[in-house]
Structure 1
């Protein structure tokens, strides 16, 4: 399945959450990741990220069962981890 993950965590935990998500998904914007992932890997990833979360933090996971139904438009510069390094 294709997922979009958005998080908002305290400044002290941002790097830990980002590193965990980067292991399975593609970074697209600050606090936004997306990509193909199996349901079991997603469940494990969410579990691992929730271990870092505290009161006031949030994690949004948008699951898309059929990625052909997504029409993604990017205005401005499209950023992802692959284009950060030459």
Structure 2
């Protein structure tokens, strides 16, 4: 399945550590395309692993993480309004 993941981490005393670990985990499974946005194809098992690892760091009362899922990237269109980054070439 095709996944787009984005997160917002509250910057408080633990925020930098949460941000750092969240970024590393996401980078392990997906392609980093912009600040706190990642994309890529994952199996159901790898999506479960990703969410399990993130649950160890994301604070349910302070942080936000959204995962959009699609059966295939061919159902998505991408439009650039400024700099076009080739890291996002998974979209057509």
Class of the TM-score when normalised by the shorter of the 2 chains:
0.7 to 0.9
Deviation string, structure 1 residues 54-84 (Cα, Å, up to 9, x no partner): 121111000011321111112212344xxxx
Structure 1 equivalent of residue 3 of structure 2: 3
CA–CA distance in structure 2, aligned partners of residues 41 and 53 of structure 1: 18
CA–CA distance in structure 1, aligned partners of residues 55 and 35 of structure 2: 18
Match of 2:72 among 66, 71, 74: 66
Structure ranking higher on relative contact order (CA contacts 8 Å, 6+ apart): 1
Query: Normalising by the residue count of structure 1, what TM-score does the alignment of the two structures yield?
Result: 0.84
Query: Normalising by the residue count of structure 2, what TM-score does the alignment of the two structures yield?
Result: 0.79
Structure 2 equivalent of residue 47 of structure 1: 52
Secondary structure of the corresponding residue to residue 23 of structure 1: helix
Length, aligned pairs only: 81
RMSD: 1.6
Runs of 4+ displaced beyond 2 Å: none
